[in-house]
Amino acid sequence: MLAATVVVASAATTPIYLDESRPIEERVDDLLPRLTLDEKLAIIHAQSKFSSAGVARLGIPTFWTDDGPHGVRPDVLWDEWEQAGATNDSCVAFPALTCLAATWHPELAHRYGVALGEEARYRGKDMILGPGVNIYRTPLNGRNFEYMGEDPCLASLMVVPYVRGLQSLGVSACIKHYALNNNEHERHTTNVVVDDRALHEIYLPAFKAAVQQGGAWAIMGAYNLYNNEHLCHNRVMLNDILKRDWQFDGVVVSDWGGAHDTWQAINNGLDMEFGTWTDGLSEGARNAYDNYHLALPYKKLLLEGKVPMATLDEKVRRVLRLMMRTTLATRPRGSMCSQEHYQTARDVAAEGIVLLKNDKNLLPIDPARHRRVLVVGENAIKMMTVGGGSSSLKAQHEILPLDGLRQRLEADGVTVDYARGYVGDPTGEYNGVTTGQSLKDDRPAAVLLAEAVEKARQADVVIFIGGLNKAAFQDSEGDDHKSYGLPYNQDQLIEALARANKNLVVVNISGNAVAMPWRGQVPAIVQGWFLGSEAGTSLARVLVGDDNPSGKLPFSWYERLEDCGAHSVGDYPGTRRADENIWDEHYREGIYVGYRWLDKNKLKPAFAFGHGLSYTTFALSNAHLTGNTATVTVTNTGRRAGSEVVQLYITDVKSSVDRPAKELKAFKKVHLQPGESQVLTFDITRDMLSYYDSNSGQWTAEPGDFIVRLGTASDRLPINLKFKLQ
């Protein structure tokens, strides 16, 4: 066994692989032949829950990963999921990615990535496991809150700046979960059956953008199967599409326990294997990392000559390239829980909160008129940063909605009262991190409801703050929702409050749409997401009008679950095979996901994709096409400063294949003072006019007439400009 030595760098002796002035490929070429077989194998699989080995004798440090994508997960023990007991691993909890997507603000996504990267660097992390860009196919998916909505264009334009911002700190993004991981139910055993066109037009574009435009250094395989092969070692997805077609030069990382077969792990594109137990998947021996598929089983096949050394060297080359970008690069030291990071969290929350409905301008709350405010609902007092799966965090602080409202309104002399209304999930613990809250309440449901209704009759305005939480079978990894409706009899409570007080605001906290049978009885509805550390402050600022809401829905809000294509013609959650534990799930709706499905079937949503109101008003005018450039003027016609998102959709008037009625292809967000105008321009590219031709395997734009549609939501597109592709 070779003794470990420390490489001392000097101008005369620095090896090429440590010389950052040299090109990365030259450094990799120098380092690769220096490694022994055991060292090569050691760096392509885990050595602990969240790390892989370095090479001490060559001065290569341990490589540390950590969960995201909303903050840096607290440290666990070397080979246990229990907390390490650190006191310096609290973080800023940033709003969930559904909220970030709802900002429709790519520059804010870049700030998000930079702030997260700075926190990761301070904590000594080299890779953050995120962001996630799986498509919102069904509102029952428990993990939708970690993703960026239903539309591939929106997700693509938001993920690229996030990745660039994070990696500017020398911290690798790890885009997940590649791909087709669109529900949590039976996620390890679901085999997705989807046509090539839907795969390339709907489910892959955000991953492709993260790789080709964002320059992502790593990508994580999904738990599920495609073409009967697990996606952590899937020949078509990894070897053919990702590495050959997209020319991805980074590392494919397995999800924890996502590798199932040694031969497939070797040959079908997996580069680094992480996991939990004996073979990375099955519960058993601890500290058993040498038994992983890419460890001793791989070595045995190599020594027997059954697999080529060239395949191993290709994996190692990719890992070394990752190290040159991270652990073997000069990087900033980072910072933790800074005021700048909290400001980023507040800004993302403020711009992501969506004003869904505001009849008679009930909002914003006016302290001069609304002197008695009643807040109702468990989510007003429940911490949401703990729980939900791997994105659970140990936040330095979390400002609750009730506290935020009290702090803001009581300063103006407003009385803020509270009634629980219902008891949902009184617990608050995940993986050893606890909220420290005691939310137990043994009063009968009828008593809680009666108290809330009685107090509502005495209030000037009632703010109900409910929705979902991160308990099992809600917005949480590992489970899907059992129904589209709100849990804990919240519908009954909301309807009773609406009868008791006409000035009712419903704030839904969730990462998913939910059924709203009471929608017509409630004058104001706000989508509040999971807002992270600054939840209470951010929500209060929007409700009072300190911040003008400008969020837009990143998914269609269905009136009924049956209005969703996955539930109308798809076979969610799949059908279990008679002879084995595999669920085949057919995506029969094809490319018709979200608003595409609603348009095709002439269905009206409760709230459309891209919908979001403001406390001011905007007008679009002077729209025209000059060559390939569309131009439109947006004007703030109201009395408040605010931001608007101008959305551009394309319609192919006549095509040889079936195409959606319209597809989002671009958008721009602009902030305007009252009376201010700004001219926006959009370049219409060939890519924006193309569809994926499954027969040729190519993107095709057919000559002919197209319509450029401009507006502020998918159901509010008043401007139509004709465009001809020659």
Question: Which residue in the block uniquely carries the two structure tokens 């009885």?
Answer: 521
CA 626 vs CA 63, 329, 619: distances in Å: 52, 46, 21
> Whose CA is closest to 137, among 476, 473, 569?
569
What is d(CA 322, CA 314) in angstroms, rounded to the nearest whole number? Answer: 13
According to DSSP, residue 395 is labeled B
| Tokens representing residue 645 in the block | 């998102």
Residue type at 270? L
What is d(CA 515, CA 517) in angstroms, rounded to the nearest whole number? Answer: 6
Rounded to 10 deg, the angle between the 106-122 and 152-167 helix axes is 40
| Three-state DSSP state, 272 | strand
CA 444 vs CA 236, 440, 453, 488, 519: distances in Å: 55, 12, 15, 12, 26
CA 378 to chain centre: 25
Q: Which of 75, 255, 271, 425 is catalytic?
A: 255
CA 501 to chain centre: 37
Give the pairing of strands 225-226 and 190-193.
parallel
Peptide bond into 177 cis (omega under 30): yes
Look at the alpha carbons of 409, 413, 419, 420 in this order and tell me if their dihedral is positive or negative. positive
CB atoms within 10 A of CB 500: 18
Cα dihedral 209→211→217→222 (10° resolution): 90
533 and 93 in contact (C-beta within 8 Å)? yes
Q: What is the CA radius of gyration of the chain?
A: 26
- Contacts of residue 405, defined as CB under 8 A and 6 or more positions apart, other chains included, come to 373, 375, 380, 416, 463, 536, 539, 540, 543
Is 403 in the active site? no
496 and 359 in contact (C-beta within 8 Å)? no
48 and 57 in contact (C-beta within 8 Å)? no
Q: In the beta sheet, which residues pair with residue 417?
A: 374
177 and 551 in contact (C-beta within 8 Å)? no
Catalytic residues: 255
